[in-house]
A = this chain, B = another copy of it.
Amino acid sequence: MNAEIITIGDEILIGQIVDTNSAWMATELNAIGIKIVQITSISDDPEHLTEALDNARKRVDLVLMTGGLGPTNDDRTKDVLTRYFNSKLVSHAPTLEHIESMFKARGLKKIQLNADQALVPECCTVLSNQVGTAPGMWFNEGNVIFISMPGVPFEMKQLMTDEILPRLTAINKKGKIVHQTIQTIGIPESFLAQKLEKWEEALPEHIHLAYLPSPGLIRLRLSAFGDDEGLLSTEVNNQVEKLNKIIPDAIFGYGEVSISQVVGELLKSNNSMVAVAESCTGGMISHEITSVPGSSEWFKGAVIAYSNEIKEELLGVSSQTLEEHGAVSEQVVCQMAQGVRKIMNTEYGIATSGVAGPSGGSKEKPVGMVWIAVAGPVDTTVSVYNFANNRERNIIRASLTTLNMLRLMLKK
């Protein structure tokens, strides 16, 4: 079953709100094997909605609308649908009762605008909105289903969860989709594509691969389409296994996991803690770590050493080394990682020192050059990177790369 989502109202079009409803609906519909082929955001203009409905029914067998059902004059969806399906508005007794009881509970007097919310096109199936006044509406027209819901997120979610998804699951028995997201780090997109070229070409036709890059990371998503969910899962798992043999070190997790979460799990299973010394990343590594709930179990703290004075006095970096090699150097970053490990009394210490930009670069040490060190109970690993990007990106890429170096040491 293919679907289109139509959101109605100006808020999205003028950029006042971000459309989070559609992502939520898409996830839920995907989970029951319904594929979204288009999301369309339009204004409250009746002609535009009519046109959008005409276009959608050519493409899909399910049209989900949100918005335009409020009590005020700028909400026109119900009128448009009544005309579109050649119906007429009638009062729906259970809805009217529900509205009256809602107003009574809040100690408010109902006005005519509220009573009008109980008017629905005669031809629709009314879907009960337990948390608001505007009911959902379900229309069967030829082979296409049209569903209209309020745009208020929690009202839409209640209607989807209690009324719509169960009905759609019953109707949509055939056609399943199985997704798996594979999180990778450390290989740039074009190089990854080259490494995976042969494997990708050999994928069966009903399994698709998508690259989803974000700064410092690339998520790969496999989507398998077919009838037998169990079989599809097996096939996807087999492909993930093959992938794992091609890029074993680059894969750090599956699904919506972050690199900090993975590092945290590894530290916990190692009964170890980490401390952080940040120069050019300026707090970003600590922020990434502490975004994980419960990270105090494995993260003791950090020193953000934005001046040489702090590197010397708090982290114990030698002033001679700083003078000889400069702050952005292999020697200094190693002393920072070892120093923070020592002063915070942890098993692991990680450190960064580089040129975030936009200024401060030189020929030998250009903007984007970052030294990273990981000090552990056995040894210290150190690497240099040239991220060559803008400040924001250099910081995020250096931070994720540092966490990845710690991950690789912990995996050994």
Contact = CB atoms under 8 A, between A and B. Distances in A.
A189 B114 CA distance: 10
A280 B22 CA distance: 32
Interface string A9-21: 1111111111110
Contact of A393 (B131, B294, B300, B368): B131
Contact of A181 (B16, B221, B358): B16
Contact of A18 (B15, B18, B289): B18
A230 interface: no
B27 A189 contact: no
Given A20-B18, A300-B310, A72 B193 contact: yes
A259 interface: no
Interface size class on chain A is 35 or more
A304 B291 contact: no
Most buried by B among A27, A286, A303, A304: A304
A173 interface: no
Contact of A285 (B15, B283, B293, B392): B283
A65 to B, nearest CB: 14
Contacts of A295: 282, 306
A165 to B, nearest CB: 14
Interface in A278-309: 278, 281-287, 289-291, 293-296, 299-307, 309
Contact of A74 (B71, B209, B293, B388): B209
Given A291-B392, A306-B296, A210 B11 contact: yes
Contact of A276 (B15, B304, B344): B304
Contacts of A293: 357-359, 391
Contact of A38 (B41, B154, B223): B41
A24 interface: yes
Nearest to A345: B309
Given A15-B25, A16-B221, A70-B189, A300 B309 contact: yes
Nearest to A391: B293
A27 B48 contact: no
A26 interface: yes
B301 A302 contact: no
Given A286-B304, A301-B307, A306-B301, A193 B14 contact: no
B26 A14 contact: yes
A299 B291 contact: no
Given A38-B42, A108-B191, A113-B193, 7 more contacts: A13-B38, A14-B179, A15-B23, A15-B36, A106-B387, A283-B289, A300-B310
A24 to B, nearest CB: 7
A366 B290 contact: no
Interface in A186-201: 188-191, 193-194, 200
29 contacts: A10-B223, A12-B26, A13-B35, A14-B30, A15-B36, A16-B23, A37-B42, A38-B42, A38-B52, A40-B40, A70-B211, A71-B189, A74-B208, A105-B386, A131-B390, A282-B290, A283-B283, A284-B287, A286-B286, A287-B287, A287-B395, A290-B395, A291-B391, A294-B359, A299-B306, A301-B314, A302-B304, A309-B344, A313-B343
Contacts of A113: 190, 193-194
A247 interface: no
Contacts of A55: 55
Contacts of A143: none
A48 B38 contact: yes
